[in-house]
Amino acid sequence: MSEFRIEKDTMGEVRVPAKAYYASQTQRAVENFPVSGWPLHSDLIHAMGLVKFACGVANRDLGKLQNTGKNRLDAKQIELMLAAAKEVAAGKFDDQFPIDVFQTGSGTSSNMNANEVIANRAIELAGGDRFALAKPIHPNDHVNMGQSTNDTFPTAIHVAVGMSIARTLIPALKKFADVLTAKAKEWDQIIKIGRTHLADATPLRLGQEFGGFARQLELSIGRAETAIEAVLELPVGGTAVGSGINTHPEFGSRVANCLREESGIAFVESANHFEGNAQRDGLVECHGQLKMIATTLFNVSNNIRWLGSGPRCGFYEIKLPDRQPGSSIMPGKVNPVMCESLMQVCARVIGNDGCLTLSGAAGGQFQLNIMMPVMGQTTLESIMLLARGTDAFVEFCANEMEANEEACVASVEKSLSMVTSLNPFIGYEKAAALAKEAFKSGKTIRELCTEQNILPADQLTAALDPFSMTEPQG
């Protein structure tokens, strides 16, 4: 067999790799966009297969595929086309999607890539010759029936994003939240010094500090759920400009219903197809929630990094697991590498949000946004990075963190902020003078108060009880 075969489209003949399931329009795009070497994210490829399956189901049930004329298909051919689409959705043909991310802004090249692969695979399943120029199952007439790239490609992006958040990011965030909640309970009786402005503050319990982190993750889970809500409306049914030309009035709702059943995500038809086709505001909103999650994860992992600093010249209030040697020159040095990894993930996601914002604001003119491939790719990258980065942090760091109770307790008595609990007894100004004198003399607040008989011994003991300082006083 020759290394290439000849395929044909409306622009003429094209040489295509002999065994490829794709055809001429895909090959033209491969040649036109030798940019990054990055194919579409696999989640988006799978979502395109699922969208094509749902469109086929809608056309089958509406009876459009059995009309007389060019578009006539029998029931068996329809089922074979659906089977081929399901195979794409399952990832069987990922290697048949070679087009670069930085392609035509509508995603037409990748939509036709999906149409060609599904058509040729359906022909093959029927026992036909997928290499023949005449296509009994045609990529445009049959696989793309009732559709335009302009409504199905953004639909696939929404489906991919919603499913990816639900299946990977939310479970990762829940695992992290559960670990932090467990640590908060385990460490609830360990008293340590608080810090504001990186300066000594009043005592709190290590469990309270980690309970705050756990709450941040709980809020992040809610933001991930809100991110899904932002992409629930699907443009499918609007075809080229939102008018629904060349499709059935029920097509969009039927496709959305099928996708809802297949994915378990509450997808619905766009309330207004002109908005649904033209703008990607929902995707920008979605990524805004991802940016907020990244902000939280950066903050939590950085706080944990600080708390684990040391082991002799830092805080060292928690012990982080040793994962690998930390220096090529300093023997025995171990670094908080998992914290650093997650922080870099978050920096990337925060940067990605700029791409989404610009693409949404400047990319949508009149009836179409022409930045969709990069928007889809970048959003899916952010979800993947956040989910995998969080999973790795939980498995290799958070699960194995230990409290260093000795270090936590040792810092409390030395803190000048212990004087805060004396405010109700001696007033702010006298308390401030005591703090300055304690710092200058190197004595603790308790020692200075005892020497100067500031309060009776029993009252002083009660006032300077560190545990009582960690809760409101009645």
402 shares a domain with 422: no
pLDDT score recorded for residue 363: 82
pLDDT of 231 reads: 98
Question: Residues 59-81: what's their mean pLDDT?
Answer: 77
| φ, ψ of residue 244 in degrees (nearest 5) | 80, 20
Q: Is residue 335 part of a domain?
A: yes
Helix (H) or strand (E) holding 4: strand 4-9
More confident residue, 63 or 226: 226
Q: What percent of the chain has pLDDT over 70?
A: 98
Q: Are residues 170 and 49 in the same domain?
A: no
Reply yes or no on whether the pLDDT at 384 is more than 90.
Answer: yes
**Mean pLDDT of the region 387-397:** 98
The confidence score (pLDDT) of residue 285 equals 98
* Domain match, 32 and 170 both: no
pLDDT of residue 74: 80
Last residue of a domain, which of 129, 145, 161? 145
The mean per-residue pLDDT over the stretch 67-75 comes to 65
**What pLDDT score was predicted for residue 76?**
87
* Cα distance between residue 192 and residue 206, in whole Å: 6
Same domain, 331 and 400: yes
pTM attached to this predicted model: 0.95
Same structural domain for residues 108 and 212?
no
CA dihedral 234, 238, 240, 246 (to 10 degrees): 130
Asked whether residue 260 is assigned to any structural domain, the reply reads no
Report the chain's C-alpha Rg in angstroms. Answer: 30
Average pLDDT score over the chain: 95
In terms of residue numbers, what domain contains 315?
A: 151-231+279-406
Same domain, 103 and 159: no
Q: What is the pLDDT of residue 259?
A: 98
Q: Check residue 140 and report its DSSP letter.
A: I
* Residue 349 included in any domain: yes
318, containing H or E segment: strand 318-319
Structurally, how many domains does the chain consist of? 3
Segment 34-63 mean pLDDT: 96
| Given 36, 243, 327, 468, the catalytic residue | 327
**38 and 69: one domain?**
yes
In a domain, residue 62? The reply is yes
| CATH number reported for the structural domain that contains residue 462 in this entry | 1.10.40.30
Examine residue 311 and say whether the peptide bond preceding it is cis (omega within 30 degrees of 0). yes
Of the candidates 338, 315, 343, the residue with the CA atom closest to the CA atom of residue 326:
338
Which strand (E) or helix (H) includes residue 403? strand 402-403
Residues 82 and 192 in one domain: no
Question: What's the average model confidence in pLDDT over 345-357?
Answer: 98
- Which of 91, 111, 145 is the last residue in one of the domains? 145
Question: Which candidate in 106, 109, 148, 197 is catalytic?
Answer: 197
8 Å CB contact between 51 and 120: no
Banded model confidence at residue 133, pLDDT cuts 50, 70, 90: confident
Q: What is the 3-state secondary structure (H, E, C) of 141-200?
A: HHHCCCCCHHHHHHHHHHHHHHHHHHHHHHHHHHHHHHHHHHHHHHCCCCEEEEEECCEE
Q: Within a domain: residue 293? A: yes
Domain boundary residue, one of 361, 377, 406: 406
The pLDDT of residue 67 is above 80: no
In b/e form, how buried is each residue of 418-456, taking b as 16+ CB within 10 angstroms? bbbbbeeebeeeebeebbeebeeeebbbbebbbeeebbe
How confident is the model over 401-455, as pLDDT tens digits? 999 999 999 999 999 999 999 999 999 999 999 999 999 999 999 999 999 999 9
Picking from 141, 149, 161, the residue whose alpha carbon sits closest to that of residue 56 is 141
Tens digit of each residue's pLDDT (9 = 90 or more) over 267-319: 999 999 999 999 999 999 999 999 999 999 999 999 999 999 999 999 999 99
When pLDDT is averaged across residues 14-20 and rounded to a whole number, the result is: 96
pLDDT above 90: percentage of residues in the chain: 92
Least confident of 38-47, 214-223, 323-332: 323-332
The Cα 376–Cα 302 span in angstroms is 29
138 and 32 in a common domain: yes
- Residue with the bigger pLDDT between 74 and 227: it is 227
The band of 70, judged by pLDDT with boundaries at 50, 70 and 90, is low
Average pLDDT over residues 442-470: 94
pLDDT-derived band of residue 1, with 50, 70 and 90 as boundaries?
A: low
Catalytic residue check, 273:
no
Whether 273 is in a domain gets the answer no
3-state DSSP assignment of residue 404: coil
Q: Which residue, among 149, 71, 141, 86, has the nearest Cα to 113 in the 3D structure?
A: 149
In this structure, is residue 313 part of a structural domain? yes
pLDDT at 473: 81
162 and 48 within one domain? no
Kindly state whether residue 240 falls inside one of the protein's structural domains: no
- 142 in active site: no
pLDDT of residue 377: 98
CA-CA distance, 287 to 41, in Å (whole number)?
A: 16
What pLDDT is attached to residue 75?
85
Residues 159 and 136 in one domain: no
Q: pLDDT confidence of 134, banded at 50, 70, 90? A: confident
CATH number at residue 141: 1.10.275.10
Same domain, 73 and 192: no
pLDDT score for 66: 58
